[in-house]
Amino acid sequence: MLFYSFFKTLIGQQVTVELKNDLAITGILTSVDQFLNIKLDEIRAVDEAKYPHMMAVKNCFIRGSVVRYVQLPASAVDTALLQDAARREAQQPTTGGAH
């Protein structure tokens, strides 16, 4: 659940999502859920010449399972805090999702 909470803190930021089919999309993060499905607003393909497939699409839902990377604005992330939270979650195995 840590990364779910983490992504929720990034709502409103401009992010670039690279998918497993190499398609990269930039947009404003509007929503994230427990599966790390992502909703983006005001989207555009990073390589618009190669990907005109979504020209008329203004906002989209991306299935969490097809995401390869999410590029974040460095200014929006407190890495020390994130590292601390990750360490704390690792120390409490009962709160983790593994079974």
Partner 1 sequence: MRFVITVTVEIITADGRVIVGTFKGFDQTTNVILSSCHERVFSETEGVETLPLGLYIIRGDNIVLIGEIDLERDASVDLSEIRAAPITDISRR
Chain positions 39 to 98 lying near partner 1, rule: CB under 8 A, are: 43, 50-63, 65-66
Phi-psi region of 26 (alpha: psi -120 to 50; beta: other; left: phi over 0): beta
Q: Any contact of residue 22 with partner 1 (CB under 8 A)? A: yes
Q: Any contact of residue 29 with partner 1 (CB under 8 A)? A: no
Token readout for 71 is: 């590029």
Q: Any contact of residue 14 with partner 1 (CB under 8 A)? A: no
Q: What is the H or E stretch that residue 86 is in?
A: helix 79-91
d(CA 38, CA 71): 13
Among 19, 28, 82, 85, which residue interacts with partner 1 (rule: CB under 8 A)? 19
**Chain residues in the site for partner 1 (CB under 8 A):** 19-23, 25, 37, 43, 50-63, 65-66
